[in-house]
Chain A
Amino acid sequence: MNINVIEADGGVTHVVLDGRFDIAGAQGADPRFSALAQSSSSVVVDLAKVSFIASLGVRTLMVSAKTLIRRGADMAVCGANENVEKVLRSTGFDEIVPLYPDFASAAAWLTSRQAEFASKKP
C-alpha cells in the first residue's frame, strides 16, 4: 500500500493511502502513522483508493487516532468505499473518528475544530 503525505492548507495533513490495507499494508503503514500521530495536529486519512481493510488496518488507524486525541489533535477519515466503511462502522471506529465523503468536507471539519480549540485557549 502506498502512502502519500501532503501538507494541505490550514495546517491539515492529508494522508492519501492507495492499495490494500491488509496485513502487509498495516505492517508497512504502522511506522508512518506512528510518526504522524506524534507530530501532526489535524490529519485527514484519505481511503478513496483503499480497496480492502481488515481489523489490523483498523487497529493502525485506531492507535494513531488515540495518540492524536490524547495530544488534543484530531483525525478525520474520508472517501471510504461501501465495504471499507462497513468495517469501520462495525468496529465502532466512527464513534471516535468522523467519516466524510471527501477531503474538502473532512478538512473543513478539522479547520472548524482548530478554530474552536484556539478560541478556548486562555
Chain B
Amino acid sequence: MSAPEQQACSRDFAGTIEAAADAEAWLMSQSGALGLPEDTEFALNLCLEELFINAVQHGRANRATISIWAEADGVRLEFVDDGGPFDPGEAPAKRISGPTDDFEIGGFGAGLVQKFSRRLSYRRSDGYNRLLLEFGAARDTNAGSEAPHTT
C-alpha cells in the first residue's frame, strides 16, 4: 500500500445496522471535507453501506474500522472488520436475468462494490478482513482546501 498523500481519517464502529447509518454520515462528512465530486461521494457511500451490511449480517462482525484518505489519483477507503472471511472482489456479481416473476432477491452487494470502485484489494490477517477500495476521482478544485482531521 502506498503512503497516503493526506493523513487518513479513521473511526471505529460497532457491528450493528444502526452503526452503519452513523458510519455513512461520518463518511459523508469526511468526503465533504475532501471536496470530492458527487459521483465519488455516491460510490463511496454505496460501497460502505454494502460492506457494512454484509459484515454485520453475514460475517457477524462485532467491530468495523473505516479509514478514508486522498491520494494524487483519487481517494482510498479502507474497511476492516472482525467478521468471517469474505472477499467481495471474488464473490459472484449477482444480477436478475428476466423478465420473470420468479427471481431471487438479494446478494447484490458484492457486484455493486465491484462496479462502483475502481480497484479492490483484499487480505485476511490476524482474524480481520482488510479491504482497500480505490476511487478514481480527482478532488474538486472549487471546493475548500482545508485538510480533514483525524477523529
Question: Which chain A residues have a beta carbon within 8 Å of chain B's beta carbons?
Answer: 22-24, 52, 54-56, 58-59, 62-63, 66, 69-70, 83, 86-87, 90-93, 95-96
Question: Which chain B residues have a beta carbon within 8 Å of chain A's beta carbons?
Answer: 17, 20-21, 24, 38-39, 42-43, 45-46, 49-50, 53, 93-101, 103, 105-106, 108-109, 111-112, 115-116
**Nearest chain-A residue to B96 (Cβ)?**
A92
**Given the complex, which residues of B lie within 8 Å of A91, measured CB to CB?**
94-96, 108, 111-112
A52 touches B53 (CB 8 A): no
**Secondary structure dominating the interface of B:** helix
**Secondary structure dominating the interface of A:** helix
**Given the complex, which residues of A lie within 8 Å of B17, measured CB to CB?**
23
A87 to B93, CA, bound (A): 12
Nearest 3 A-B pairs (CB), nearest first?
A92-B96, A95-B98, A92-B95
A96 touches B49 (CB 8 A): no
